[in-house]
Amino acid sequence: MLAVSISPLGLNLAPRATLGTSMPAFAADDPMFTLPPLPYAYDALEPHIDAATMKFHHDFHHQAYITNLNKAMAGKPKADLVSLMPGAKAAKLNNAGGGHYNHCMFWSTLGPKAGGEPSGALGDAMAKAFGSYDDFKAQFSAAAAGVFGSGWAWL
């Protein structure tokens, strides 16, 4: 059983020290943050996102953010990702830390048989704020296109 730290979003963003790894904590190559496993098969989102794209994006792109975050945190006390967020920009961790956080959220919010127009309170709030779901998608896509990271934006 793994001991994990849960962020407000329910994401597993704990430093490696709390993940029950067999690597000793004093090992020089013991990274603070590690790539979480993809919560579904690489091909689970086909035909929308193919397995090769998912594998590359998860195993290499997301891993690059983690590698850079671990380099930036080398020699610093262990921390969980959420605790780094308030001072991330000043500490120059916002790109690597934000990339890791965004990708964790990305993997956990995508899934087979997921998505579509929201209903209930969220759907009502979006209709009130944006006019319609289609209007929201257009405004959100336009906002995301102008952000570093090729389209990351949060509602």
DSSP string covering 24-85: -TT-TT--SS-PPPPSS-TTTTTTTS-HHHHHHIIIIIIHHHHHHHHHHHTTSPP--HHHHG
Taking the CB of residue 13, how many other CB atoms lie within 10 A of it? 23
Residue 38 in contact with residue 107, Cβ under 8 Å?
yes
**Cβ neighbours for 99, distance < 8 A, ≥ 6 positions apart:** 62, 64, 65, 68, 69, 149
Angle at which helix 133-145 crosses helix 120-130, to 10 degrees, equals 70
Tokens (6 digits) for 98:
């934000």
57 labeled part of a ligand binding site = yes
Q: Is 48 annotated as a binding residue?
A: no
Annotated binding site: 57, 103
Annotated binding site for Mn(2+): 57, 103
